[in-house]
Amino acid sequence: VGGSLNSANDLEPWILRLCNVLPALASDSSMPGVLGICFGHQILAKALGGRVERNSAFGVQLGKRRFTAGDTALARQKLSGLGQQITSIAAHGDAVMAIPPGAESLGESTPCCYEGFVTGNGRVITFQCHPEFGGSQFGCRAYLGLMEAMEQAGEVDGKLDCRRDTTGTDDQALREAVWAHFEQTRPKSAL
């Protein structure tokens, strides 16, 4: 589940339907796992019993940002090879304030209490950041398009030049960590 200009708390019909479908996907062991990025991180948290709010204390987060990897065995396993400080691209105004019951945090930052989580059954892994944006020309173009859309929607003030750099992130390693997670947790029927 990827990003969106919408909030997980919006009452749009498609968001309400998504909230109803996600718990079944998250628990169905015959299906591949579920990845949540940005809005996906937020909507999965909400649909599985967590809490999402407007990040009024820090406002819209946009550009490169560091977060601290969680200090649990599971977080170290899922983020192995990334180090304690992870740099990725942020583009969001909401934040997960409480992760679902039984989930484990994968990291935190000053603006976000929960930069990611994995559910107890391992079927869901999420990140607030956008690991798809850094380290590739396509990702950079997608990020610039998102920034323009956020600007047009009135989410940001137009002073974005300093936030256009997508180099020097840990996004490739983060993508590899997600791939490794799904390789380890995929259902036997998917082999």
User: From CA 163, how far away is CA 170, in angstroms rounded?
Assistant: 16
- Grouping H, G, I as helix, E, B as strand and the rest as coil, residue 105 is strand
- Cβ atoms of 43 and 139 closer than 8 Å: no
Q: Which residues are part of the catalytic machinery? A: 38, 130, 132
Bridge partners, residue 88, by sequence: 65
What ranges make up the beta strands (E) of the chain? 34-37, 51-54, 61-69, 85-92, 94-98, 104-108, 116-118, 124-127
Give whole-number Cα distances, 38 to 59, 61, 81, 129, 131, in Å.
15, 11, 22, 6, 10
Q: Give the strand pairing for 124-127 and 34-37.
A: parallel
Its sign, for the CA torsion 28, 31, 32, 34, is negative
User: From CA 25, how far away is CA 34, in angstroms rounded?
Assistant: 7
- Cβ atoms of 174 and 85 closer than 8 Å: no
